[in-house]
Structure 1
Amino acid sequence: MEEKLMRAVQYSRYGGGPSGLEHVEVPIPTPNKDEILVKVEAASLNPFDWKVQKGILWPLFPSKFPQIPGNDVAGEVIKVGPGVKKFKAGDKVVAMITPGIGGGLAEYAVSKESLTVARPPEVSAAHGAPLPVAGLTAHQAVTESAGVNLDGSGKHKNILIIAASGGVGHYAVQLAKLGNTHVTATCGARNMEIVKSLGADEVLDYKTPDGAALRSPSGRKYDVVIYCAAGIPWSTFEPNLSENGKVIDITPVPTALFGYALRMLSKKKLVPMLLKPKGENLDFLVNLVREGKLKTIIDSKYPLSKAEDAWTKSIEGHATGKIIVEP
């Protein structure tokens, strides 16, 4: 019997950027035990995707070549593997594909049942697809690393969110404001009103002197900084932190390990954060979107045939919210 094929985008070596992506036809994957085959309606790009291609995460990722990138998808269940109990063909879902395995930039993708959640009619594929990586990273940073209770209880915290108009940042602002917090945010001048509309109490243009120095307009010291960028030295953070303040670095790199260790010895800390995805947290985020308590800002949408353009946009690093690819 002839094998059914699907359109996909892949790369076969490290490097190459957008021009290293190849449009191919490959066999539709088969779901194994506890896995689900999803017809992709929307996929979301993350910096993780092009960093893997660049070789920044070698030798951990990718697990193999050729690599179909993409870890965030929303779509419809086509088939379930042995042992799957929660889903059946026809169900609408949001899913995170195991990092390193990938497969999101394709017409079909396989996800694990444990990292797949139901998508209600109120949540479109484009607005649900970005939640697995960016949404879960923001959720973990705000709740676990920053210790914010999203029911509004707990001690008041002053929080700074850097790059607040980006993929993780725009979710982090909204989630932090569900808690007992005062949120200061940094972004570019063109996005200041958007970030204010998400609930930020104070917004700094990162290109101004106060923005570059991370100084709160109201003179607050930060209990927590959610650091969604790169290139800011500790000497800029330190004077803005409260006595036991900490900086949560959501994109840690191996070369910074000595800095983390050094800071752990002081009251003011620099703490690396690695995403530990949980299905129950993804389900929580999807329901916040359904209830209108969490918004996905979509920067742009591209068809799969123009995946290179989406890749370029992500590498440039100035997207407002999330970049979506639709097969």
Structure 2
Amino acid sequence: MDEVSFHLSQCLDSLQIIFSNLVHSGKLVLQNVREHTHVLLVQLQNCLPASYIQTFNTFLQSLLHGIYQLKQNINASFYFYRGPFVLADTFNRTNAISATLGLVFGTGIGLVIGLCMQYPCAPVSSMKAIGCMNLSGIEDITLDDTLVPCILYSDQILVKVYAGSIDAVDIRIASGYASTLRRLLTKHNHNAKTHVPVVLGRDCAGVVVEVGSAVSKFDIGDEVWSAVPSYCQGALAEFVVLKEDLVSKKPKTLSFEESVSLAYSGSLAWDVVFHKANLNTSNAESKKILIHCGSTGVGCILIQLCRLLDTHITVTCLSRAVQVMLGFGASYCIPLETPDLEEQLIKQRSRYDIVFNCRAGPDAHELCLQLCSKQGKVVTAVPPRLASDSMGFLLGMFYSVYVNVFYVLLGRTSWDHVHFSYSILDQISNLVDSGHIKPVVGNIFKPQDHQKAFHIVDSNQAIGKTVINFAR
């Protein structure tokens, strides 16, 4: 027994040294984080209201004080409980049994508390979802089985998806777009254990199958549609959980496939026309508008919105789409296959008041700038590059603090260049049902044909939207 006590004492001495080193290292890390956080707060002070600054300062001080108190308590507890074992004066079988029973009993209590505090969830079942694991491009996109998400908050809705569309931004997401922001926000999404695999798809149309206790606008069985930001998990799945303020009742006159072709693209088009370009019925009449690559999903809707404002519309589009563009209200169409297209556009004497660019990339943007009048503007109708995707370690640490502070403390929920909302979908739905906006569905695929669908979108040869139809 003395030999056992001696070896046990040696083990505990080693653990004490390791524990002390860990505490010391942790203290240095906390001090370093505190210094960097202080610098960040000084920078934020110029752009935040005084009330927010005061609230955050109080929160940070309480947090640091709590960490310090926890460290002190751990140190005190360690030395208090260490004494009898190291000295081995009172070590016997009774103490060993008591310690073991205490460990088992404490673990049991902790397990019970953890089970009681876990988020309530519906019975586990699986569904099909289109997503990617390694963020390495189109070839990484697969159709896999995953768990059906469940309602975790009172303002959420569970939707059975009948159709979802593929947007060009989904291909960028499959290659890493918005991955940093999504990883940070996934920590607060208990339906997603990690930020990968990423479910693709920026919109969906389907039927409500369950509602949270605070949901007031929807009932089970309602036909709805939704558009979600690029930093969120997507909607190309058989079921999706959505916040109520991202959901609207779909247009009554359209099918699920037709509706979903307008949700995300329509939200982008609405934002660039009425918010970024700041057009309205009083200032838009007779303005000269160019829509570059107008046969895309967002381009087809831009033409129809600009027509409602009585503007003069010129469109560059695929030659196959010229008649569609003219039917939507374009005054003049220039096929993208035209030889020396850029030179011909630049040589035109007329310049445009507003150029809507529907193609990503610096070359397209530079061309659009050359086609603007001196007082004109270029408005990009595709999601821009995100600075967070190229941050190093130090800037990434600051950005992580920034996101967590604004999400947890200040309740910020929108991080995109577009504020997606049910109100925009409601207005688009009204225009659809009144006959002012029509959908353009280029192709419809089954989920198992997702690779073919994504390659068509990536080819830039699709007219309108490519839709995935989930079996009812």
Q: Does 1:54 align with 2:184?
A: no
- Superposed CA deviations along residues 211-269 of structure 1, whole A, max 9, x for unmatched, are 424639985321100011134366644453222111112332358xxxxxxxxxxxxxx
Q: Does 1:145 align with 2:266?
A: no
Q: Structure 1 residues 98, 89: CA separation in 2 closer, same or farther (over 3 Å shift)?
A: farther
SS at match of 2:180: coil
Q: Does 1:135 align with 2:135?
A: no
1:20-169 map, 5 Å: 20-31=140-151, 32-61=153-182, 63=186, 64-149=195-280, 151=281, 154-169=284-299
Q: Structure 1 residues 97, 33: CA separation in 2 closer, same or farther (over 3 Å shift)?
A: farther
Seq. identity, %: 28
Other-structure match for 1:243: 374
What's the RMSD between the two structures over aligned residues? 2.4
CA distance in structure 2 between the aligned counterparts of 1:75 and 1:2, rounded to whole angstroms:
21
Asked if structure 1 preserves the Cα contact closer than 8 Å seen for 2:357 and 2:368, the reply is: no
Query: What TM-score do you get using the length of structure 1 for normalisation?
Result: 0.86
CA distance in structure 2 between the aligned counterparts of 1:127 and 1:296, rounded to whole angstroms:
6
Asked if structure 1 preserves the Cα contact closer than 8 Å seen for 2:446 and 2:468, the reply is: yes
SS at match of 1:60: helix
Partner AA of 1:141 in structure 2 = V
Larger deviation, residues 202-211 vs 111-120: 202-211
Asked if structure 2 preserves the Cα contact closer than 8 Å seen for 1:95 and 1:116, the reply is: yes
Q: Does 1:9 align with 2:9?
A: no
CA distance in structure 1 between the aligned counterparts of 2:282 and 2:458, rounded to whole angstroms:
36
Other-structure match for 1:321: 464
CA distance in structure 1 between the aligned counterparts of 2:353 and 2:340, rounded to whole angstroms:
18
CA distance in structure 1 between the aligned counterparts of 2:348 and 2:232, rounded to whole angstroms:
46
SS at match of 1:232: helix
Larger deviation, residues 188-197 vs 298-307: 188-197
Larger deviation, residues 53-62 vs 81-90: 53-62
- Superposed CA deviations along residues 84-122 of structure 1, whole A, max 9, x for unmatched, are 100010000011234323241111111111011112431
- How far did 1:53 drift? 1.2
Partner AA of 2:358 in structure 1 = C
CA distance in structure 1 between the aligned counterparts of 2:164 and 2:466, rounded to whole angstroms:
9
CA distance in structure 2 between the aligned counterparts of 1:2 and 1:175, rounded to whole angstroms:
45
Q: Structure 1 residues 70, 239: CA separation in 2 closer, same or farther (over 3 Å shift)?
A: closer
Q: Structure 1 residues 7, 239: CA separation in 2 closer, same or farther (over 3 Å shift)?
A: closer
CA distance in structure 2 between the aligned counterparts of 1:218 and 1:201, rounded to whole angstroms:
16
5+ residue gaps, structure 1, are 256-272
Q: Higher helix share goes to which structure? A: 2
Query: What TM-score do you get using the length of structure 2 for normalisation?
Result: 0.61
CA distance in structure 2 between the aligned counterparts of 1:27 and 1:202, rounded to whole angstroms:
49
Q: Structure 1 residues 119, 236: CA separation in 2 closer, same or farther (over 3 Å shift)?
A: closer
SS at match of 1:148: coil
Q: Structure 1 residues 172, 234: CA separation in 2 closer, same or farther (over 3 Å shift)?
A: closer
- Whichever of the two has the greater Rg, that structure is 2
SS at match of 2:374: strand
- How far did 1:56 drift? 3.5
SS at match of 1:147: coil
Other-structure match for 2:70: none
Counterpart pick for 1:311 among 450, 454, 465: 454
- How far did 1:293 drift? 0.8
- How far did 1:207 drift? 3.3
Asked if structure 2 preserves the Cα contact closer than 8 Å seen for 1:302 and 1:325, the reply is: yes
Q: Structure 1 residues 16, 245: CA separation in 2 closer, same or farther (over 3 Å shift)?
A: closer
- How far did 1:314 drift? 1.5
CA distance in structure 2 between the aligned counterparts of 1:238 and 1:7, rounded to whole angstroms:
43
- How far did 1:326 drift? 0.9
Q: Structure 1 residues 233, 70: CA separation in 2 closer, same or farther (over 3 Å shift)?
A: closer
Partner AA of 1:253 in structure 2 = R
SS at match of 1:7: strand
CA distance in structure 1 between the aligned counterparts of 2:170 and 2:364, rounded to whole angstroms:
25
SS at match of 2:226: strand
- How far did 1:4 drift? 2.2
5+ residue gaps, structure 2, are 1-121, 187-194, 388-415
1:271-286 map, 5 Å: 274-286=417-429
Aligned residues: 308
Other-structure match for 1:291: 434
Q: Structure 1 residues 214, 115: CA separation in 2 closer, same or farther (over 3 Å shift)?
A: farther
CA distance in structure 2 between the aligned counterparts of 1:195 and 1:216, rounded to whole angstroms:
22
SS at match of 1:207: coil
